[in-house]
């Protein structure tokens, strides 16, 4: 059931009426962004706004967001641009071959219940063993579609790729959906992360891995050893592989094994031509190259997923040594910016898929919502089954210690009966149930590199809010009021009467 490649996924999207081919000629500079941004912000019943609709029609049934777009006529380029392929709950589920994202979470949960050793990380690290070696581990293949065409040496260039300039204030054009393959110098273990790449010229780009991420951790080893770091960057392939590059997996958990688990079939990998890396054989385009351990260059600014420009800063530089690609490749891209955007749905997939793992460590957690406007690291809404005083504080502290949850600026904890997916209820309970001085707790720690409100980069304060009802032992001596609810017999009687009342 796994997709053989990106083209296979595109065919599925098309069959399901989830993709629009844009045949009008458009520029890769800003115009694709403007069309994609409007598309990502379409809501049912709301028009696309002036100007859109000239070259294509939006099918009617997109729940809260417009279709995937395949730009077939990008001014000056032969290669088409795919964007917004992950941009809805439905398409994200389709990308992972499930009907609902919770299915993936349930598969993880049932694995954890069959064999259940140790901590969160230990459990996650067990996954490959649990899934079984044959089905999840990557396989090496000798020949690959992604190497049908090879441009090595002086022939290697980024110029044929329709890399987007996303926003007017951007420092240049950026690869926005690259899977960056690195290897630890010490252990040889692989990491794959999605880190945007600022194109400086035909053969050099920035390498924007944040200091907290796997690529930067490997890079620190090469810096210490003063050794050149060989890197491969893949674009496209089975969408489950691309998602895996964005997933917040623990250190040393091979994203290609996780992709194998997601697609329930191992990922075929092929050896690169000029660097000691393997890449997914089904990729559209592969960039091979290296990063020098001493070189730095200004990267950015870039209109970021925070909805603000992230400032220019110094990052390592990627030097291209070879480009390989399919005969007729597709260039996958996304834009980020003020939410909701396509990346919100990649993030929502992570929320659903990782929830069972978080619950295995914090069993009192019932549900968690990372609202898209909270851009994932700003706001987490969590419901818990509370049994003892200060349990909400324990959950808050524990979440700040769990993987990339460490970046979460605001965590709000509610009781189990609160639907944290319902923002109307969230705001009502939050305002009603807290005494700010008692129920708000502050802490300091690492913050996301993109956080611009922290007084200095990389570290700042966090806020935890206990919005649960206060129980004995929490210093609240007054009785806690009951929710207002109608008596069951009256509800039943009015249920029977309702249709006759002519109200609706
Ligand atoms: C569209 C998109 C762009 C991203 N860009 C970056 C980036 O430029 N730098 C970065 O450190 N993380 C970026 N991320 C987040 C990482 O991909 C994510 O944190 C991932 O878990 C990193 O994997 P790692 O833990 O193996 O480093 C991006 C995510 C998405 C979905
Ligand atoms: Mn990783």
Q: Which atom of ligand 1 is nearest to the CA of 255?
A: 26
What spacing in Å lies between the alpha carbon of 267 and ligand 2's midpoint?
Answer: 16
Residues with CB under 6 A from ligand 1: 176, 191, 193-196, 208-210, 213-215, 246-248, 334, 336, 343, 346, 404
pLDDT tens sequence across 421-459: 999 999 999 999 999 999 999 999 999 999 999 999 999
Q: State the DSSP H helix or E strand holding residue 261, giving kind and residue range, or none if neither.
A: helix 255-263
The closest ligand to the CA of 332 turns out to be 1
- Confidence at residue 374, expressed as pLDDT on a 0 to 100 scale: 95
Which tokens in the block code for residue 479? 């009785």
Q: Which atom of ligand 1 is nearest to the CA of 404?
A: 19
The closest ligand to the CA of 333 turns out to be 1
- CA 271, 277, 283, 287 torsion: positive or negative? negative
- Confidence at residue 55, expressed as pLDDT on a 0 to 100 scale: 39
Q: Which atom of ligand 1 is nearest to the CA of 336?
A: 1
pLDDT tens sequence across 159-171: 999 999 999 999 9
> Which residues are designated catalytic?
304
Phi and psi angles of residue 234, each rounded to the nearest 5 degrees, phi first:
-110, 145
What spacing in Å lies between the alpha carbon of 178 and ligand 1's midpoint?
Answer: 10
pLDDT tens sequence across 315-352: 999 999 999 999 999 999 999 999 999 999 999 999 99
Q: Which atom of ligand 1 is nearest to the CA of 209?
A: 11
pLDDT tens sequence across 188-198: 999 999 999 99
In Å, what is the CA distance from 424 to each residue of 413, 436, 440, 494? 15, 20, 21, 25
- Confidence at residue 130, expressed as pLDDT on a 0 to 100 scale: 63
The closest ligand to the CA of 246 turns out to be 1
What spacing in Å lies between the alpha carbon of 439 and ligand 1's midpoint?
Answer: 33
What spacing in Å lies between the alpha carbon of 77 and ligand 2's midpoint?
Answer: 33
- Confidence at residue 110, expressed as pLDDT on a 0 to 100 scale: 81
- Confidence at residue 57, expressed as pLDDT on a 0 to 100 scale: 45
Q: Which of 146, 202, 203 is nearest to 179 (CA)?
A: 146
- Confidence at residue 49, expressed as pLDDT on a 0 to 100 scale: 37
How far is it between the farthest Cα atoms of the chain? 81
Whose Cα sits closest to atom 5 in ligand 1?
195
What spacing in Å lies between the alpha carbon of 23 and ligand 1's midpoint?
Answer: 31
Q: Which atom of ligand 1 is nearest to the CA of 346?
A: 31
The closest ligand to the CA of 403 turns out to be 1
Whose Cα sits closest to atom 21 in ligand 1?
248
- DSSP code per residue over 179-233: EEEEE-TTT--EEEEE--EEEEETTEEE----TTSHHHHHHHHHHHHT--EEEEE
Low-confidence ranges of the chain (pLDDT < 70): 43-64, 114-124, 126-134
- Confidence at residue 426, expressed as pLDDT on a 0 to 100 scale: 97
In Å, what is the CA distance from 408 to each residue of 55, 255, 381? 41, 23, 11
81 pairs with which residues across the strands? 71, 331
Class of residue 33 by CB neighbours under 10 A (exposed 0-12, middle 13-18, buried 19+)? buried
172, 195, 336, 342, best to mutate for ligand 1 pocket (most atoms within 8 Å of CB): 195
What spacing in Å lies between the alpha carbon of 340 and ligand 2's midpoint?
Answer: 25
Q: Which residues surround ligand 2, an ion (CB under 5 A)?
A: 191, 214, 249
336 pairs with which residues across the strands? none
92, 124, 194, best to mutate for ligand 1 pocket (most atoms within 8 Å of CB): 194
Which tokens in the block code for residue 269? 């990998």
Whose Cα sits closest to atom 23 in ligand 1?
193
Q: Which atom of ligand 1 is nearest to the CA of 214?
A: 27
Whose Cα sits closest to atom 18 in ligand 1?
246
193, 244, 449, best to mutate for ligand 1 pocket (most atoms within 8 Å of CB): 193
């Amino acid at each position: 059931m796994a997709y053989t490649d990106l083209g296979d996924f595109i065919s599925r999207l098309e069959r399901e009426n989830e993709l629009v081919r844009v045949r009008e000629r458009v520029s890769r500079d800003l115009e694709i962004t403007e069309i994609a941004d409007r598309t990502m912000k379409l809501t049912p019943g709301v028009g696309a706004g002036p100007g859109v609709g000239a070259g294509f029609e939006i099918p009617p049934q997109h729940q809260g967001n417009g279709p995937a777009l395949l730009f077939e006529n990008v001014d000056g380029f032969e290669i088409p641009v795919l964007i917004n392929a992950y941009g809805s709950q439905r398409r994200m589920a389709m990308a992972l071959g499930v009907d609902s994202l919770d299915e993936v979470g349930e598969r993880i949960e049932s694995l954890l219940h069959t064999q259940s050793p140790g901590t969160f990380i230990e459990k996650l690290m067990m996954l490959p063993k649990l899934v079984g070696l044959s089905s999840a581990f990557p396989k090496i293949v000798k020949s690959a579609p992604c190497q049908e065409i090879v441009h090595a040496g002086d022939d290697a260039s980024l110029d044929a790729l329709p890399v987007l300039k996303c926003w007017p204030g951007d420092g240049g054009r950026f690869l926005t959906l690259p899977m960056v393959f690195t290897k630890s110098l010490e252990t040889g273990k692989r990491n794959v992360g999605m880190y945007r790449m600022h194109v400086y010229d035909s053969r050099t780009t920035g390498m924007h891995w944040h200091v907290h991420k796997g690529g930067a951790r490997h890079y620190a080893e090469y810096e210490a050893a003063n050794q050149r770091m060989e890197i491969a960057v893949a674009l496209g392939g089975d969408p489950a592989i691309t998602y895996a590059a964005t997933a917040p997996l623990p250190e040393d958990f091979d994203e290609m094994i996780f992709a194998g688990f997601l697609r329930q079939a191992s990922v075929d990998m092929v050896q690169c031509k000029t660097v000691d890396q393997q890449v997914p054989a089904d990729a559209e385009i592969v960039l091979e190259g290296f990063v020098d351990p001493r070189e730095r260059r200004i990267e950015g600014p870039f209109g970021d997923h925070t909805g603000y420009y992230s400032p220019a800063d110094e990052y390592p530089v990627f030097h291209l040594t070879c480009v390989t690609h399919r005969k007729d490749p597709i260039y996958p891209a996304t834009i980020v910016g003020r939410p909701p955007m396509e990346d919100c749905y990649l993030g929502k997939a992570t929320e659903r898929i990782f929830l069972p793992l978080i619950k295995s460590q914090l069993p009192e957690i019932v549900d968690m919502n990372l609202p898209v406007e909270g851009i994932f690291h700003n706001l987490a809404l969590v419901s818990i089954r509370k049994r003892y005083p200060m349990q909400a504080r324990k959950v808050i502290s524990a979440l700040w210690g769990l993987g990339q949850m460490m970046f979460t600026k605001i965590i709000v904890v509610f009781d189990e009966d609160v639907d944290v997916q319902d923002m109307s209820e969230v705001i009502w309970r939050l305002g009603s149930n807290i005494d700010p001085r008692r129920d708000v707790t502050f802490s300091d720690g690492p913050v996301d590199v993109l956080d611009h409100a922290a007084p200095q980069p990389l570290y700042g304060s966090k806020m935890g809010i206990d919005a649960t009802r206060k129980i004995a032992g929490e210093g609240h001596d007054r009785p806690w009021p009951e929710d207002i609810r109608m008596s069951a017999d009256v509800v039943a009687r009015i249920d029977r009467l309702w249709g006759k009342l002519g109200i609706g």
